[in-house]
Amino acid sequence: MHKTLAVTLGLFLVTLVPAPAASTLAESIDKTIEILHQYGESQGDSIPRNVFHECKGLVILSIYKAAFIIGASGGEGLVVMRTADGKWSPPSAISAAGAGVGFQAGVSNQDFVMLLNTEEAVRQFEQKGNYTSSAECEGTAGPVGRELSAGVATVNAPIYTYSFSKGLFGGVSLSGRGLASADDTNENFYGERLNPREILAGKIKKTPEAVKQLWKALEELDKKPKIEGKTPSKNAKGSTKTTN
């Protein structure tokens, strides 16, 4: 009886999750540009600049969560990758979903930034449909702080994940999420049915103005110089793990 009531209340609260602000790829692009601009202005405790420079792809996710004993979440975002000539690909839309059990209640939203550091990590997001597994896509809490010292390895995980809130970036593990390509969202934006691999390979007939603005924001970050500083420790401020 109590279990049935808990499930019913949980499902009811799922219906109360607010409609995601990033309901189209154009809006996901606007959100990404906003985050990139704030990152470009940040100093000190943030994603190390040279870690960003070395990444092979980038994912921005906005997660909306509702919970009451049984929690559920959903969200949308995009993925872009660096091309062979060092430029950026057109973005491909992605969606996220997750569920969990715990004594919590309320509705919230959170933005996440994922740096794809390897070719294998990028290939996961080139797939059509559901990605291999949330465990492989959750990533590792990325280093936070000033740029890593010269000669120190900057990448030791396929994916670095960060939370973004009120202009601050903190390393987290994005666990318990199922990620998938948002094919209908891509079709509505580009006006043609393309799979993620085709989009990330640049096989689009027309380049929307929003994509050009995204490229501009990414290129501006690539031009920013590194900031010399100490190597962040594993216990650096903001390097925490989430399990929701």
Task: Output the six-digit token pair for 94.
Answer: 């992605």
Where does the chain have alpha helices with state H? Answer: 2-14, 25-41, 49-54, 119-125, 134-137, 183-190, 196-200, 209-223
Question: At which residue do the structure tokens 């994916």 appear?
Answer: 159
Q: What is the mean pLDDT of residues 140-162?
A: 67
The mean pLDDT of the chain is 73
Please write the tens of the pLDDT for every residue from 42-65. 766 678 888 888 899 999 988 876
pTM of the model: 0.74
Nearest to 100 by CA among 178, 18, 191: 178
Q: What per-residue confidence (pLDDT) applies to 176?
A: 54
Q: What per-residue confidence (pLDDT) applies to 142?
A: 73
Q: Are 94 and 25 in contact (CB under 8 A)?
A: no
Q: Are 91 and 210 in contact (CB under 8 A)?
A: no
Please write the tens of the pLDDT for every residue from 217-238. 999 999 887 655 444 444 433 3
Which residues lie below 8 Å from residue 70, measured CB to CB, with a gap of 6+?
Answer: 6, 7, 9, 10, 11, 99, 100, 101
Q: What per-residue confidence (pLDDT) applies to 16?
A: 39
